[in-house]
Amino acid sequence: MKICVNIIFIVLMLPLYAGVDYNSEIQPIFNSRCTNCHSGSDAEEDLSLTSYNNVMNGGDSGDVVIPYDHANSLLWQYINSGFMPPGTNDLTDSQIDLIAEWINEGALPEPNEPMVGDLNDDGVVNVLDVVLLVNSVLNGGSADDYPQADVNGDGTLNVLDVVTLVNWVLYGDDGACIDYDGNVYETIQIGNQLWMAENLKVTHYRDGSEIPNITNNGDWSGLSTGAYGDYNNNPTNSETYGRLYNWYTVDDDRGVCPDGWHVPSMGNIQY
């Protein structure tokens, strides 16, 4: 029997979010180059370019911006051909391209924020997104280009994002209690409070900075900054008991608990 092995190459197709911001990037162009003729009651062709809504209301010819279609948008045609602004003071190529990009992204009033974890932009987070994320990590993708892939929000794409995303897919991202390192904790509902049912064992603050690991008993007492230890200095104990943190870690503004979770207050305990 001959077995034919197919190697399937998965093509990386992540939507790239440039996210042109109308107010800070497009309106200033109109303000400096267009509104002296396109504003107020005597606006040329009744086209006012003083605000997003006015632009989208169009002029005597109807809509001048067709979302997602710069080539069929009269406004782009006129600036691209140099007809607007009148005379020889054309917009620069990069301004024209930026307006095309804004139109092609949907001519939105503000940039469309990608949904974190939804790498293929299909509205759901599932195993397809995990495949894309693994590819992206292997190919050295950057969190700047693919913010939706930076699942733990630390500014880099690496295996921790994969661990977290796999956990989201398996456990969901609302009820699930997942820390920065990707550890998943059992939870228990008590009255109207949701508690973690296991001890914390994370080694990073929520922003990704490391919590120092102190292994020498003598060093503990002199500290005035956050640190953790393992029971008996044996990291495998953290699986059973969680890790031991000093007060400075608990009190740190960066947050030691998973996103959306907090250290219980006296009020929470006495409830």
Q: Which is nearer to ligand HEC, 102 or 261 (CB)?
A: 102
- From CA 68, how far away is CA 107, in angstroms rounded? 7
- From CA 80, how far away is CA 100, in angstroms rounded? 10
> Counting contacts by CB under 6 A, is residue 103 touching ligand HEC?
no
Nearest alpha carbon to residue 259 among 151, 159, 143, 137 = 151
> Counting contacts by CB under 6 A, is residue 66 touching ligand HEC?
no
How many residues sit close enough to ligand HEC to count as binding (CB under 6 A)? 21
In this structure, is the dihedral angle defined by the CA atoms of residues 79, 81, 87 and 93, taken in order, positive or negative? positive
> Counting contacts by CB under 6 A, is residue 69 touching ligand HEC?
no
> Counting contacts by CB under 6 A, is residue 91 touching ligand HEC?
yes
> Counting contacts by CB under 6 A, is residue 85 touching ligand HEC?
yes
Please report how close the Cβ of residue 93 comes to ligand HEC at its closest, in angstroms: 13
Using CB under 6 A, which of 60, 145, 210, 219 touches ligand HEC?
60
> Counting contacts by CB under 6 A, is residue 160 touching ligand HEC?
no
Tell me which stretch binds ligand HEC (CB under 6 A): 79-87, 192-200, 245-253, 259-267. Answer: 79-87
Q: Which is nearer to ligand HEC, 105 or 161 (CB)?
A: 105
> Counting contacts by CB under 6 A, is residue 59 touching ligand HEC?
yes
Site string for ligand HEC, 119-158 (x = CB under 6 A): ----------------------------------------
> Counting contacts by CB under 6 A, is residue 37 touching ligand HEC?
yes
Using CB under 6 A, which of 74, 130, 184, 200 touches ligand HEC?
74
Tell me which stretch binds ligand HEC (CB under 6 A): 14-22, 70-78, 131-139, 259-267. Answer: 70-78
DSSP H helical ranges for the chain: 27-33, 52-57, 74-81, 93-104, 127-138, 159-171, 217-221, 237-241, 247-250, 266-270
Q: Which is nearer to ligand HEC, 44 or 252 (CB)?
A: 44
- From CA 235, how far away is CA 215, in angstroms rounded? 10
Using CB under 6 A, which of 20, 26, 75, 157 touches ligand HEC?
75
Cβ proximity of 211 and 180 under 8 Å: no
- From CA 234, how far away is CA 141, in angstroms rounded? 35
Nearest alpha carbon to residue 47 among 32, 63, 23, 26 = 63
H-run or E-run covering 185 = strand 184-185
DSSP codes, 207-265 = TSPBPPB---HHHHHT--S--EE-GGG-TTHHHHH--EE-HHHHT-TT-SSPTT--PPP
- From CA 64, how far away is CA 69, in angstroms rounded? 11
Interface ranges with ligand HEC (CB under 6 A): 33-34, 36-38, 44-45, 47, 49, 59-61, 64, 74-75, 78-79, 84-86, 91
